[in-house]
Amino acid sequence: MTDLKKEVIMEHHLVKRSKSYARNGVIIHKAEIQHRDLNEIRNFEDKDLKNLDQKIQLQFAKWDSIYEKNQGEKLAEIETKRAKEKLSSIEDIMTHNSIRKINFNWGSLKKKKEFEKENPKNMLSELLKSEKVIPKPELLLIPPKPFLVQPKFQPKYNFIENLFTFLKNRKYQKLKIIFDIAYEEWIKEIKRIEEEWMVLKIKVEEENKAAENIYKKRIESAEKQKQNIALKYKKLSSEWDLEKSIFLAEVEAFNLKIEARKSNYLKKNKFEVEFYNYNILKSIEFLKIFPNDFELDYNVVNGILIIEYILPSIEDIPTLKEVRYLSTKNEIREIHLSEPQIKAFYDRTIYNIILGIIHVIFESDIANAIDAVSINGWVNSIDKRTGRRINSCIVSLQTNKSEFIKINLKDVEPKLCFKSLKGVGSSELSNLVAIQPILTINKNDKRFIESKNIDFEETTNLALMDWGDFEHLIRELFQKEFSSNGGEVKVTQASRDGGVDAIAFDPDPIRGGKIIIQAKRYTNVVGVSSVRDLYGTVMNEGATKGILVTTSDYGSDSYMFAKDKPLTLLNGSNLLHLLLKHGQKAKIDIKEAKKIIKEQEKANRHFG
């Protein structure tokens, strides 16, 4: 009888064949098959192996058909659930937990007082622990002085020799001669052995002394090295202590600034109120469903917060409502909202977003700084009538806190509520009909000064340009960069304090907004502190982005800090490339600039 037991594993299929057996003189083959995912088991037997395999494959085909249907129905069920949850999360904005008071944590802006760099003392301790012990030398043992038995002269006489004296004397003389010879040989051997032992002793002593000297020198060297390491780590530890104290001082200073910012917010400082509400908007859950961007402006005098908000376009609205499995075709079919349903859903969503934003802003107004909110909803989309991309304000609403907080948003019809608050918008927002905003952000900043054009030649070294002219040059350059889509750039009053040098207003809904531009006409590498300052300014100004331009370059720590932040660092090479893009040529020669500046400083000291 042949042993056919084996296992065949193929995806969900498992076949176990047992030993064949004889029945009425006929060999019968048995097999147990299993479909793992359906958890079905069947036993088959046949006298013909080929027929047995056909039975097995037929059963697997039936099971696979059932499995595919189950999987299709299960997948359709899961996708339908997801689609409904997505639609529901948007439809139920007004009943969602997102429309609630947001407690902005100023403490989250603070730096931790944990100095992460390891203390060199710990490193020294670990280093000393891991230091290998210098083994003492294994000294050679001096072998014991060899002992050679001294020959004894003890003549023995026989009976006859004892009777005759002359015989005894004769034997004595013979033995004495033999003994004397043997004794002399012994004396010589003794001397030879002693000499060899003495030589060996001296050699062993010299080798032991040499080994001890080497060990002593290694100990002295290790001790000296240990002392040098200790001195090195003592210095490193002192530097670490200083670095830590500076770090803690900087953290303390930074955290005090945060406390001051919190205090200024409670005092209704313009920039802090804008910064606070910017973070509130970023924390609203239902806004995270869509790509969103906004610009804020707070009027301290009348307590109005203006919000310019980029709304989702109709293309951003999910339309999938159900997924069905067609078993006859073994395919998945998606069921979407109809066009009228999409338009109605889009309109409800926009009204919900506008009302939800205002609700959260008022609820989260800890400083009681906001008396009214004016919000303009902009959409960047494709105009289906012309096929062109448009940027239109489609809704605008201004409402007082005292009026708005009386509304129970959970039970209102969004469009009726919006209209009752005198909101402005077309009858169908999905048509993207542009309207005039009720109130817009005033871009007239008292810090702005009149710009001027800067003339320069190809040979002009930008690293030596007057720093005021350099700022105007940057303004002029970015004006050209942003003017293609209606943007504008304004220069602020010269302060040389690392603050705002220019502000760009870019209407582009994707990359646009308020952009802070700082110019550094440097000959040295720009430190990370300047990049931190720019980020702080961006936050203070409620801007969407910051750009730092220099004639030199940035250190790796600057690029690391700017990573994942709304900051762009442009070095000298980038600056020349941008100038060339707009048809201007210049040069940046840091070496030449340093030399001339050094000569000027020397001359000033001489004549000073």
Tens of pLDDT, residue by residue over 239-265, are 888 888 888 898 898 889 889 888 999
The upper half-sphere exposure of residue 590, i.e. CA atoms within 13 Å in the direction of its Cβ, equals 12
Please tell me whether residue 155 adopts helix, strand or coil conformation: coil
Mean pLDDT calculated for residue range 463-487: 79
Name the residue with tokens 């098959």.
33
Residue 411: the pLDDT is 82
Please tell me whether residue 246 adopts helix, strand or coil conformation: helix
**246 vs 254: CA distance, rounded Å:** 12
Residue 159: the pLDDT is 81
Residue 497: the pLDDT is 44
Closest by CA position to 342, among listed 322, 323, 384, 314: 314
Mean pLDDT calculated for residue range 499-515: 69
State the helix-helix crossing angle for 270-283 and 165-266, rounded to 10 degrees.
Answer: 110
Task: With a cut of 60, say whether residue 137 has pLDDT above it.
Answer: yes
Confidence of residue 131 (pLDDT cuts 50, 70, 90): low
Closest by CA position to 93, among listed 445, 358, 282, 397: 358
The answer to whether 534 touches 519, Cβ cutoff 8 Å, is no
**37 vs 191: CA distance, rounded Å:** 98
The upper half-sphere exposure of residue 501, i.e. CA atoms within 13 Å in the direction of its Cβ, equals 26
- Structure token pair of residue 27: 């060999």
The upper half-sphere exposure of residue 94, i.e. CA atoms within 13 Å in the direction of its Cβ, equals 18
Task: With a cut of 70, say whether residue 128 has pLDDT above it.
Answer: no
Least confident piece of the model among 376-385, 459-468, 470-479:
376-385
Confidence of residue 381 (pLDDT cuts 50, 70, 90): confident
Task: With a cut of 60, say whether residue 350 has pLDDT above it.
Answer: yes
Closest by CA position to 364, among listed 452, 433, 447, 284: 284
The answer to whether 500 touches 541, Cβ cutoff 8 Å, is yes
Least confident piece of the model among 63-72, 133-142, 199-208, 438-447:
438-447
The answer to whether 27 touches 20, Cβ cutoff 8 Å, is yes
Task: With a cut of 60, say whether residue 443 has pLDDT above it.
Answer: no
Task: With a cut of 60, say whether residue 572 has pLDDT above it.
Answer: yes
State the helix-helix crossing angle for 467-482 and 572-581, rounded to 10 degrees.
Answer: 50
What percentage of the chain exceeds 70 in pLDDT? 86
The upper half-sphere exposure of residue 595, i.e. CA atoms within 13 Å in the direction of its Cβ, equals 5
Residue 365: the pLDDT is 92
β-pairing verdict for 424-425 and 389-400:
antiparallel
Confidence of residue 368 (pLDDT cuts 50, 70, 90): very high
Residue 571: CB atoms within 10 A of its CB come to 19
Closest by CA position to 310, among listed 552, 175, 511: 511
> Residue 381 pairs with which residues in a beta bridge?
390
Confidence of residue 361 (pLDDT cuts 50, 70, 90): very high
What percentage of the chain exceeds 90 in pLDDT? 5
**92 vs 196: CA distance, rounded Å:** 108
Mean residue pLDDT of the chain comes to 80
Please tell me whether residue 39 adopts helix, strand or coil conformation: coil
Task: With a cut of 80, say whether residue 132 has pLDDT above it.
Answer: no
> CA–CA distance from 583 to each of 95, 224, 486, 577 (Å)?
56, 66, 20, 10
**574 vs 550: CA distance, rounded Å:** 9
Residue 127: the pLDDT is 67
> CA–CA distance from 327 to each of 75, 82, 331, 520 (Å)?
13, 21, 7, 68
**554 vs 531: CA distance, rounded Å:** 9
Mean pLDDT calculated for residue range 505-518: 71
Residue 436: the pLDDT is 80
Residue 548: the pLDDT is 92
- Structure token pair of residue 589: 């020669």
Residues 316-327 pLDDT 10s = 888 888 888 777
Residue 370: the pLDDT is 92
**149 vs 144: CA distance, rounded Å:** 15
Confidence of residue 19 (pLDDT cuts 50, 70, 90): low
Element spanning 70, H or E: helix 49-91
Considering only residues 31 and 11, tell me which one the structure prediction assigns the higher pLDDT. Answer: 31
Mean pLDDT calculated for residue range 296-302: 84
Task: With a cut of 50, say whether residue 4 has pLDDT above it.
Answer: no
State the helix-helix crossing angle for 120-129 and 165-266, rounded to 10 degrees.
Answer: 160
**417 vs 403: CA distance, rounded Å:** 12
Task: With a cut of 60, say whether residue 161 has pLDDT above it.
Answer: yes
Mean pLDDT calculated for residue range 118-135: 72
Residue 287: the pLDDT is 76
Least confident piece of the model among 104-108, 120-124, 352-356:
120-124
Residue 185: the pLDDT is 86
Residues 587-599 pLDDT 10s = 888 888 888 888 8
